[in-house]
Structure 1
Amino acid sequence: MTTPPAAGDTMKSIGIVQEGDPVLTQSTQPFNLPREEQAARDVVMALHAAAERAAKVHNFSKGMGVAAPQVGVARRAAIVRPPEGGVIVLLNPTVVDASAEADEQFEGCLSFFDVRGKVPRPRSLQVEYQDFDGQARTTTFTDGLARLVAHELDHLDGVLYVSRMAPGTEVITVAEYKGTGQNWTYQ
């Protein structure tokens, strides 16, 4: 009987860059939009393809996101797929405001999928980003969606969620995490 591959190995096999690759810990370069519209579209297509591959091997009941560094591209692009469906495309995103109110929930990452960690995040996040044509947009994300967006924006700044965990807090294995029975909850 063969042992199934670890979750992280599965993510690596579908083309997700794994922890240890320098692209995950460096800042990304913005797109000059609309001049680099085609380059931005190409990166976003790669992100959609990676998200589709990941969704075929794991059920993301809380939603998911993929940032350009996770497909080996050091550019400021990410997508977020909320649990209720649809896709949010974030080009050249920056946080313009974050609520002082925060909460702490478990997060995982496609780039080291074998563990989960409790991460404090703002309950509300206002983000400015661009459309492919360079048009500026500002959107406020709340609760779980704010958490997903913040996680992906961190990737664009070379920050992994483990560095956001409270001092002295350790990651837990997926098996331990599944034993918690916890889903993200907000009141």
Structure 2
Amino acid sequence: MIKPSLEIATLGNPILRQLAEPVTNVTDKQLQQFINALLSMAKEANGVGIAAPQVSHSYRLFIVCSHPNPRYPDAPLMEPIVMINPRLISHSEEMVKGWEGCLSVPGVRGLVPRYQAIAVEYLDQQGQQHHQEFTNFVARIFQHELDHLDGILFIDRVANSEDLVNI
């Protein structure tokens, strides 16, 4: 059952460490309502992405919604993309470290290595399959959100404690 209002699950909530379940019926009315609520929450929270487990729902879906904001002033502007059952198909050899934060890990930022370029596939909100390539910051968002579906947090990817800061 979908909860009427969504709240961010924070570090310590066991759902953040679980493997999310694949979505089997994209057209399900409750799922569509949940996706719309998640889109609204992403805008309200001023984040650049949000995954279903972050609001205590074990679905393999997330939203990538890059836009300049106080946390990421140089983020590129893009329309939000709903990604259902997303998969990383291939990636560059090159990895780049960049600062990340997370709505589920408030007050902490970390220097996280991520692939510079990736190729992905996913279903959109209507169930249509997409293949796309992302680079730089948007590739970072995708990888960060995909980690949420696998029970991994950005703090798990930080090389050492010196790459973590409290904000």
Normalising by the smaller structure, the TM-score range is 0.7 to 0.9
Partner of 2:18: 26
Q: Note the C-alpha offset of 1:166.
A: 1.2
Tell me if the contact between 1:93 and 1:129 (Cα under 8 Å) persists in the aligned partners: yes
Aligned to 1:98, which of 91, 94, 100? 91
* Preserved contact between residue 82 and residue 125 of structure 2 (Cα < 8 Å): no
CA RMSD, 1 decimal: 1.7
Secondary structure at the aligned position of 1:105 is classed as strand
- Report the more deviating stretch, 82-91 or 64-73: 82-91
**Cα distance, 1:126 vs structure 2:** 1.0
- 1:44 has 2:63 as partner: no
Aligned in 2, Cα 1:40/1:99: closer, same or farther, shift over 3 Å? farther
Distance 1:166 1:100, change over 3 A: same
Contact 2:81/2:124 (8 A) holds in 1: no
Counterpart Cα distance in 1 of 2:113 and 2:146: 15
Distance 1:155 1:17 in 2: 11
Q: Which has the larger radius of gyration?
A: 1
Matched residues in 1 for 2:63 and 2:39: separation? 7
Q: How many residues align?
A: 153
Which string of whole-angstrom CA distances, capped at 9 and with x for unpartnered residues, describes residues 95-133 of structure 1?
111111110011000001201000000001111101234
Tell me which residue corresponds to 1:157.
150
Structure 1: where are the runs of 5+ without partners?
1-13, 175-187
1:120–1:165 Cα contact (<8 Å) kept? yes
In the alignment, is the contact (CA less than 8 A) between 2:15 and 2:53 conserved in 1?
Answer: yes
**2:104 corresponds to 1:111:** yes
1:127 aligns with 2:120: yes
Contact 1:28–1:75 at 8 Å: present in 2 too? Answer: yes
What is residue 74 of structure 1 aligned with on the other side?
58
Q: Tell me, in whole angstroms, the C-alpha distance in 2 between the residues paired with 1:37 and 1:137.
A: 20
- Measured against aligned partners, the alpha-carbon deviations of 1:115-162 in whole angstroms (never above 9, x if no partner) come to 100000000111110123433211111000000111011001111011
* Ranges of 4+ aligned residues in structure 1 off by more than 2 Å: 36-40, 131-135, 167-170
* Cα displacement (A) at 1:165: 1.1
Partner AA of 1:47 in structure 2: L
- 1:58-91, CA deviations, whole angstroms, 9 ceiling, x for partnerless residues? xx6xxx1010011110101100111213101110
TM-score, L = length of structure 1: 0.76
The answer to whether 1:54 aligns with 2:38 is: no
